[in-house]
Amino acid sequence: MRAIPITARGAEKLKAELQRLRAVERPAVIQAIKEAREKGDLSENAEYDAARERQGFIEGRIKELEGKLSSLQVIDPATVDAAGRVVFGATVELEDENSGEMVKYQIVGDDEGDIKAGLITVSSPIARALIGKSEGDTAEVLAPAGKRSYSIVSVAYE
């Protein structure tokens, strides 16, 4: 099984979700199933069907998280010394060469992406175009909206 890169913050979020599912969600859905059973006929009991469906989702997510957590490679960007190159975990400030708009992104694992928070996944087109480049370089990104060019203004490991 290959290692899944993730930041320490992302790993903690996944662990917290797993803990919440085990300690809160699983017992709640078990209680909901118990209460629905007490209402009698299960063949026409929508509450029972909904609770069983929710239980299936929760158990599936628990198994998914357990699998991911066992193969995580936690990377702390602050300890990375990439000599100014863009690597996983780096925070990159970019200037759109067409509009002059400045944007700042951190390259994170696939489970951490949140474009509104400035977190782009390592497998996104823009991150793939940036990896290996240095401050002052230009990155050509093939995005759904077309080809865009970005100048790398700064690279930090925070």
The strand pair at 72-75 and 91-96 is best described as unpaired
| pLDDT for res 154 | 94
CA max distance for the chain: 70
pTM of the model: 0.80
| Per-residue model confidence as pLDDT tens digits over 72-124 | 999 988 888 788 899 999 999 999 988 899 999 999 999 999 999 999 999 99
The strand pair at 4-7 and 72-75 is best described as parallel
What average pLDDT does the segment 52-61 reach? 96
Q: What is the 3-state secondary structure (H, E, C) of the chain?
A: CCCEEEEHHHHHHHHHHHHHHHHHHHHHHHHHHHHHHHCCCCCCCHHHHHHHHHHHHHHHHHHHHHHHHHCEEEECHHHCCCCCECCCCCEEEEEECCCCCEEEEEEECCCCCEHHHCEEECCCHHHHHHCCCECCCEEEEEECCEEEEEEEEEEECC
Distance between CA atoms of residues 111 and 20, nearest Å: 17
Share above pLDDT 90 across residues of the chain, in percent, rounded to a whole number: 70
Average pLDDT, the chain: 91
Residue 59 has pLDDT above 80, yes or no: yes
Cα radius of gyration (the chain): 22
| pLDDT for res 23 | 97
Domains of the chain: 4-75 (1.10.287.180), 77-156 (3.10.50.30)
Distance between CA atoms of residues 128 and 111, nearest Å: 16
What is the pLDDT confidence band of residue 38, given thresholds at 50, 70 and 90? confident
| pLDDT for res 1 | 58
Distance between CA atoms of residues 113 and 120, nearest Å: 5
